[in-house]
Structure 1
Amino acid sequence: MTAGPSAPPPALPGARLLFSLDPAVAHLNHGSFGAVPIPVQRAQQRLRDEVDANPMRYFTQGLLDRIVHTRRHLATFIGADPDGSALVTNATTGASIVLQSVRLKAGDEVLLTDHTYGAVALAVRRECRRTGATARTVAVPVTATHPEIVARITAALRPGRTRLLVVDHITSATARLMPVEDIVAAARERDVPVFVDGAHAPGMLPLDIDALGADFWVGNFHKWAFAPRGTALLAVAPDWRRRIEPLVVSWEQEAGFPLSVEWQGSMDHSTWLAAPAGLFVLRTLGVDAVRAHNAALAAYGQRVVGDALGLGPADRPQPGGPTAMRLLPLPSGMCTTFPEAEALRLHIADKLATEAKIEAWGGRGWLRLSAQVYNRPEEYDRLAERLPALLAALR
């Protein structure tokens, strides 16, 4: 079958067999926690076996070198300077490190968009309360074009007062690819530092982080790059590296960034050290082939489920690029709050044996569909067949 606007892409041979996911469930929410391929699970287990066989040897003989090697491997994959990057557990941890290191004070402000990931927004507001700074949010319609997004954010900047701009590379709640290159360029013209939350970017997008020019960028490798959960990379521009402070002081504090951030004593480093095995799986499947497959399958899922819900083309927000997540609005008045969205997610999982993300954003509920190489078109077809009746029964 040839993939096209109405046809799903052909499956990548053998890809589904790489995962230990429950075959009785349609896993259409890769974007939340990812899924670890079996070879990566085994690589991580070997590392855990190694530490448990001789903890003293594992922690005291060569572990720092292995962390540095892993960091270089991951940083090279995304076009980031390995000496200006640090392994962290997730994007939210990276955000907290950045917020602490910027050293906000009374009178400063941090500018967010209303697409900012919830935990990052909470971290911003906590740091603002602690320092006397102000958090301000600029609204960006889910249907805004790239020029409109840039214009809205640029107009909201207050040079001299805006101490940090926080913007997503790909938004979590709304699955939008943001024009980060243009946003970063506009902010730099106004001397406003930029933190890019790239939680979904590694593996999903081709990246050149150094060329992007953001002051700070963080991305998870456990979502779309097949790493074990708890693997992310924080990249910091040269002017900021001496000012980065870890959230917890360790024996590598005097070494400075990045080791002061990476070394946390007895943590489970197997998560990080197994991450290159995830990139090996991705490269074996073919990085470009995986990206193309996932983007085409997500578009197919949005089409068939959108058709089943009676949505026209104008009702289906476009992601702004070839991404592996798509968004559909739920009926008006449904799931306008987080508890309602979570209740519907659990109901769909229970009744339809389908894991999908339900979001409450902008005063309404949304269905976010992900696509990964283990997914099949018939999983979206079954959701399209059964979801309308389930939603109708709840209204």
Structure 2
Amino acid sequence: MDVSAPEPLPGARLLFSHDAAVAHLNHGAFGMVPIAVQRAQQRLREEMDANPHRFFAVGLEERIAHVRRHLAAFVGADPDGTALVENATTGTSIVLGSLGLGTEDEIVTTDHGYGAVDLAVAATCRRTGAVHRVARVPLVADDATIVAAVVESITARTRLVIVDHITAATARVFPVQGIVEAVRARWGERVAIHVDAAHVPGNLDPAVGELGADFWTGNLHKWAFAPRGTALLSVAPAWRERIRPLVLSWHVEASFPDSLEWVGSHDYTSWLAAPTGLFVLRSLGVALVRRHNAALAEHGRRVVADAIGAEVPAATGLPMALIPLPAGVAADPAAATALRRRISDELAAEVGLSAWRGRGYLRLSAHVYNRPEDYQRLAEGLPKLLIR
């Protein structure tokens, strides 16, 4: 199938400082910070280092609150119920630590969940005696199947359901609104729902305030051009007084969200520079960027899949695309990590690799700095590397 590459956005590649000798095809992992955002953060660091005491002691809380309002508006969240945190995994860990779980409780996730979240759930279960239940969802499933798999995994002991909006390992969009509505219809408010939306800001319009979930967390440093270490945790009104920070600092007795945001000598410049990232994204055109990225990701996937003879599922409209690897290749996490490093070292290409249900999958991302030749380079070198 011929999927043509989209026209590049004029001048977009010049907005970044990445190494042009490398094919950067894993934007979904750590993002790519535009030069304008780098400079904005550097100016903030210079201000901080010129007079650290004044930077931290005079007006910083108000500046953080201003940024929070700006970022919350971007995702449609209530700014008074939203806190800035380091990343989506941190937000999830805060939720897990605030529920008061015990031996009679269960946490439900899906087998598409993010690995670090699974580790946090496992640690919580060891500490509290709670039980972790995993809903199995097929790689290619319609919305009704996904909703049913989650709802049917809930029992009378379930206290928390964690669902991804965009899955990291498998690059699928889950119907979180349908899941929330189905859980509410069957279990009411008894079961709390946490949406892991790490990849959503910049990709989708989540309208967090209308979602009806108890908790929502999303990264701004992946697809919204913020400096790394910038994410949001949004909490429904009924839970805000129960949220506890992972690290206790001077504002531990303050109300949410201030109790989470003040962690002493944290480098707040990433948060303060985040609105510049949104400015860059909006200047390019949010809808235009999304269309470009989705089309380029699908083009790249077809080029690489054809090169290794892989069949791929239907396009998802995301800027991340999945390619199944031959059976036995990268079939476990250690092998996937090793192969990713070989691709980086030998092909000068950065990709995502995961092992899911005993099968290795290559995940390709696309953003405005990518070109078709980035994927062609991978397609030319990958077949020989896989044979070796």
Q: Specify the TM-score bucket, using the shorter chain as the normaliser.
A: over 0.9
Q: How does 1:278-289 map to 2 (within 5 A)?
A: 278-289=277-288
Aligned partner of 2:195 in structure 1 is 196
Q: How does 1:1-395 map to 2 (within 5 A)?
A: 6-158=3-155, 160-189=156-185, 190-191=187-188, 192-311=191-310, 315-318=311-314, 321-393=316-388
Aligned length: 385
The alignment partner of 1:178 has SS state of coil
Whether the 8 Å contact between 1:205 and 1:323 is mirrored in structure 2 is no
Whether the 8 Å contact between 1:318 and 1:326 is mirrored in structure 2 is no
CA distance in 1, matches of 2:280, 2:346: 33
Equivalent AA in structure 2 for residue 27 of structure 1:
H
Could you tell me how far 1:106 is from its partner in structure 2? 1.1
Whether the 8 Å contact between 1:86 and 1:258 is mirrored in structure 2 is yes
CA distance in 1, matches of 2:321, 2:353: 12
CA distance in 2, matches of 1:67, 1:322: 34
1:103-133 C-alpha deviation (Å, 9 max, x unpaired): 1111100001111111111111111111111
For the aligned residues, what is the CA RMSD? Answer: 1.2
Could you tell me how far 1:212 is from its partner in structure 2? 1.0
CA distance in 2, matches of 1:317, 1:113: 20
CA distance in 1, matches of 2:2, 2:183: 36
Could you tell me how far 1:317 is from its partner in structure 2? 2.9
Equivalent AA in structure 2 for residue 388 of structure 1:
P
CA distance in 2, matches of 1:281, 1:110: 39
The alignment partner of 2:160 has SS state of strand
1:333-370 C-alpha deviation (Å, 9 max, x unpaired): 11111111111111111111100111111101110000
Unaligned 5+ residue runs, structure 2? none
The alignment partner of 1:274 has SS state of helix
1:223-264 C-alpha deviation (Å, 9 max, x unpaired): 000000000000001111111111112222222110000000
Equivalent AA in structure 2 for residue 176 of structure 1:
R
1:252-305 C-alpha deviation (Å, 9 max, x unpaired): 222211000000011000010000000000000001111111011111111111
Could you tell me how far 1:392 is from its partner in structure 2? 1.5
CA distance in 1, matches of 2:175, 2:259: 32
Could you tell me how far 1:5 is from its partner in structure 2? 6.4
Equivalent AA in structure 1 for residue 263 of structure 2:
Q
CA distance in 1, matches of 2:338, 2:157: 41
Could you tell me how far 1:221 is from its partner in structure 2? 0.4
Unaligned 5+ residue runs, structure 1? none
CA distance in 2, matches of 1:279, 1:289: 14
**What is the TM-score normalised by the length of structure 1?**
0.96
Equivalent AA in structure 2 for residue 392 of structure 1:
I
